[in-house]
Chain A
């Protein structure tokens, strides 16, 4: 039993590392160049536009850019992780070896999470350097809590992308994941809005949406970070557990669907 779990772990890690290498080969990390140019431009140009208060604006632009760039990678790379293997028929070579479908899904997921981690860390360093340049070093400490939350949000989004891609076409999966990203950020506001409408059906509908879809508003700490605030330990702890639980649910469903999938 122990031998099997060691072997499964090794398989998952191998697939994860290969997925990371593939992302690098596919020039996914090239987005970092665009990000760096954006941050350099902000650091140089924002002084006049913000009347000397450019540090908080760099944080706002930087953190939102990290999320947007990361979300694009999670969505577009995430939905093609599985479908590309099927399309190229490489999936047959993989499953000819002693690899379970659930291990394959988990390995792919972790590989993309590693890619996203490298991305957000490099981008976070970029924002920190820009802050040093504009003498806003006091905000460096506060941005990293927010960056951690952004990464956790991206791990959930990756799991959503993998779930949709396990039963749908890449284009439709990307669209559905994007909608989940948008609604996930608004679910709390929509629930409040529905409560004000007075319609019982609306209240019920948005209540279901609120709990069913990932509540990504939990991971929004960008505005607070720009004001020098740091997420508390209970907040980070809760966010980590929520991300692990929610992603596990999605990956489990993905693995179940993927197990029944016919590649012919």
Chain B
């Protein structure tokens, strides 16, 4: 090997070793980084969207996207870092995600037509602060008066808040817009006649699953539909348990005793009970329901991610 080749080889070895050292050092520094106090992460936003408008060289849309992505990451990190694995998606207040609204507000100030931010806000904010969810959605309607979907989201927020009259008003207003689907008319009537029914909820979430583009909304709708299916399952199982108790004078000792009876039960939407390999009836997440022998009633299993019945 001549001198020049040797120099290349040595340089190559040095480069590889150098990068290995840099890799190790980076990890070492990351591990030894002084962590910031938790409150720092939730420090109020220094910059406000409406003040940035006109001063970001025309990149308002990009800034809006950045705030919106921050809102997704912010809520996601809150959920991931939560100690409670069985938190309720319907009530996120224990996570204290108080910056979610400012992020979405900034985002929609910079780009008033950013529908994804309104949709995300209307889906997630009701679980934190209903009034903020209404504020954001009404702002969306003011900025996008032709969007029937925003009226649908406003109706959803009021429905979730059990304010069926206001929900009906939102659907009434939305159904008059060009392009509004017949679903809006059906929901306007349903809100007035059977606002709190499970069937209305099912139609609502099915619509969200079918029409809303963002993944978070779809995940939420899927989860809620599973919850509704579980409630239907429990109603049917408890009715069967009651009939068994009346006939036998005792509560069923296990699934094997009532399984033949359950096979004759018709569930809404033409569904059948889900049964696992050990012949237990399971909820839509695959976790067996449990039977409380003292009350002789079935309930959501303790390991399930669905909220307790």
Residues in A lying within 8 Å of B, measured CB to CB = 49-53, 56-57, 59-61, 64, 67, 181-182, 185-186, 188-189, 192, 216-217, 219-220, 222-224, 226-227
Q: Decide yes or no: A49 and B54 within 8 Å by CB, A60-B62, A227-B111 being known contacts.
A: no
Q: How far is the CA of A59 from the CA of B60 in the complex (A)?
A: 12
Contact of B61 among A51, A192, A216, A226 (CB under 8 A): A226
Residues in B lying within 8 Å of A, measured CB to CB = 53-55, 57-62, 64-65, 68-69, 72-73, 110-111, 113-114, 116, 120, 213-216
- Can you report 25 residue pairs joining A to B where beta carbons are below 8 Å apart? A49-B72, A50-B69, A51-B72, A51-B215, A52-B215, A56-B61, A56-B65, A56-B116, A57-B65, A59-B61, A61-B62, A67-B57, A67-B58, A185-B57, A185-B58, A186-B54, A189-B55, A192-B54, A223-B60, A223-B61, A223-B62, A223-B64, A227-B61, A227-B111, A227-B113
Q: How far is the CA of A57 from the CA of B58 in the complex (A)?
A: 15
Q: How far is the CA of A216 from the CA of B57 in the complex (A)?
A: 9
Q: How far is the CA of A86 from the CA of B243 in the complex (A)?
A: 101
The count of A-to-B residue pairs whose CB atoms sit within 8 angstroms is 76
Whether the Cβ atoms of A182 and B216 lie closer than 8 Å is no
Whether the Cβ atoms of B62 and A64 lie closer than 8 Å is yes
Write out the residue numbers on chain B whose beta carbons fall within 8 Å of the beta carbon of A227.
61, 111, 113-114
Whether the Cβ atoms of A50 and B72 lie closer than 8 Å is yes
Write out the residue numbers on chain A whose beta carbons fall within 8 Å of the beta carbon of B215.
51-52
Q: How far is the CA of A227 from the CA of B57 in the complex (A)?
A: 18
Q: Decide yes or no: A52 and B214 within 8 Å by CB, A60-B62, A186-B54, A223-B64 being known contacts.
A: yes
Whether the Cβ atoms of B214 and A51 lie closer than 8 Å is yes
Whether the Cβ atoms of B58 and A53 lie closer than 8 Å is no
Chain A residue with the shortest CB-CB distance to B144: A227
Q: How far is the CA of A67 from the CA of B111 in the complex (A)?
A: 19
Write out the residue numbers on chain B whose beta carbons fall within 8 Å of the beta carbon of A182.
57
Contact of B216 among A51, A188, A220 (CB under 8 A): A51
Contact of A217 among B58, B61, B68, B214 (CB under 8 A): B58
